[in-house]
């Protein structure tokens, strides 16, 4: 959708929720609606006005990126909060929607106190629901982020040295991503050597590559405001029977879940497809997180693929599928791909091989 189409879609939601205006305070949502790539700015929308509220640091930036919107700058010596209050008064809003998940308590209390004639209405997910469905331009941008992440991982994989630490691998991945043209990592890379891989969100340490036979790498790229999110295993030592068993269980569970992805399928059914298989293999208690989540402008956004979700998949959604098994004092295995829901099924946007043979490398 174009920015104008996104604005009209949000206006429809204002009408459905009987709101005369909404104040967008989530920075990611501001960018999604307006195309602005800067920071510290809010967006105020009514049925006839679309106003970006910012400060003089971004004046030229906004004029270049958002010429179609009314721009209200904070005057020198005036706080942005004062500018917001004055602008809301000027538009004559009677009931104002605010984003419950992002507005600060301080701003909420100030609006409540100083706008006595305006009723504040808490809203949740109005813009995030629009962001669930990606248009073709968004999908193509995510494809580019994935392609960059795969190139960066391949370079990392084939340059490993035994004395490299998890911290060094994370730094090398970030550098390579930037060198290839990405903005940077879409989140702090998870690098787990051996036992560290038992922590689903392991923080890189000084543990060396050569201290174990395998490594879990969970990484992503930010490219033109959109992100990728993938996980692969690297094995450079002995492939034990235990690793073979667990890896094959996780891979098969992921394949079953991906195969079940299609429009109209419940999120819970996708989670069940992977989780039930892992349970049957005897590792149900060792898969302790949801199966996946939406990606787009953020690494975790709607929808959520979990056993408790009653939402359904729709064409245009891009979701991760990332089952894992984690055994304390041994390590863990997770495999993750980014999947597009199509009109008649799905497409795996990730192209990195993930059979066990593809995990194996030799290091000196």
Query: Where are the strands (E) in 280-341, listed by range?
Result: 292-294, 301-305, 318-321, 324-327, 331-334, 337-341
Q: What is the mean pLDDT for each group of 10 consecutive residues in the chain (364 residues)?
A: 92 96 98 95 96 94 94 93 95 95 96 94 97 97 98 96 97 97 97 98 96 97 97 95 98 98 98 98 97 97 95 98 97 98 97 96 84
pLDDT score of 3? 86
Residue extents of the structural domains in the chain = 3-131, 136-359
pLDDT score of 364? 67
**Distance separating alpha carbons of residues 229 and 352, to the nearest angstrom:** 12
pLDDT score of 241? 96
Q: Give the DSSP letter string of 141-182.
A: HHHHHHHHHHHHHHHHHTT--TT-BHHHHHHHHHHHHHHHT-
Q: SS3 for 350?
A: coil
Is the bond into 179 cis (omega within 30 degrees of 0)? no
Let me know: does 19 contact 95? Beta carbons within 8 Å: yes
Q: Does domain 136-359 have CATH number 3.90.230.10?
A: yes
β 42-46/21-24 pair status: antiparallel
Residues in the chain, total: 364
Interacting residues of 176 by C-beta distance below 8 A, sequence separation 6+ = 152, 155, 156
Let me know: does 248 contact 330? Beta carbons within 8 Å: no
With tokens 């729709």, the residue in question is 314
**Distance separating alpha carbons of residues 222 and 187, to the nearest angstrom:** 8
For the segment(s) 3-131, the CATH number from 3.40.350.10, 3.40.50.150, 3.90.1150.10, 2.40.10.340 is 3.40.350.10
pLDDT score of 111? 96
3-131 matches 136-359 in fold: no
Let me know: does 137 contact 338? Beta carbons within 8 Å: no
């Amino acid at each position: 959708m174009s920015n104008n189409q996104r604005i009209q879609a949000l206006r429809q939601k204002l009408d459905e929720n009987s709101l005369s205006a909404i104040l967008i305070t989530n920075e990611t949502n501001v960018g999604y609606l307006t195309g602005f790539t800067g920071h510290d700015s809010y967006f105020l929308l009514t049925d006839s006005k679309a106003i970006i509220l910012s400060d003089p640091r971004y004046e030229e930036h906004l004029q270049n990126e958002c010429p179609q919107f009314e721009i209200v700058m904070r005057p020198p010596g005036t706080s942005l909060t004062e500018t917001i209050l004055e602008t809301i008064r000027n538009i004559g809003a009677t009931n104002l929607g605010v984003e419950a998940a992002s507005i600060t308590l301080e701003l909420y209390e100030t609006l409540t106190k100083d706008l006595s004639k305006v009723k504040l209405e808490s809203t949740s997910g109005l813009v995030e629901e629009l962001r669930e469905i990606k248009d073709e331009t968004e999908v193509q941008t995510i494809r580019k982020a994935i392609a960059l992440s795969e190139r960066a991982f391949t370079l990392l994989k084939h340059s490993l040295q035994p004395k490299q630490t998890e911290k060094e691998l994370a730094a090398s991945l970030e550098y390579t991503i930037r060198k290839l043209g990405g903005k940077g990592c879409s989140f702090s890379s998870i690098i787990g050597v051996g036992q560290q891989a038992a922590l689903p969100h392991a923080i890189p340490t000084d543990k060396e590559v050569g201290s174990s036979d395998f490594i879990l790498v969970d990484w992503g790229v930010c490219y033109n405001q959109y992100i990728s999110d993938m996980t692969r295993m690297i094995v450079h030592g002995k492939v034990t029977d235990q690793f073979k068993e667990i890896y094959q269980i996780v891979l098969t569970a992921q394949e079953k879940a991906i195969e079940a992805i299609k429009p109209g399928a419940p999120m819970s059914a996708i989670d069940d497809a992977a989780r039930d298989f892992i349970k049957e293999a005897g590792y149900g208690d060792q898969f302790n997180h949801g199966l996946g989540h939406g990606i787009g402008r953020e690494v975790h956004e709607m929808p959520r693929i979990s056993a408790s979700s009653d939402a359904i998949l729709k064409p245009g959604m891009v979701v991760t599928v990332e089952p894992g098994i984690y055994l304390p004092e041994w390590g863990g295995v997770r495999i993750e791909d980014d999947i597009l829901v199509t009109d008649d099924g799905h497409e795996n946007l990730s192209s990195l091989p993930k059979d066990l043979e593809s995990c194996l490398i030799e290091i000196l």
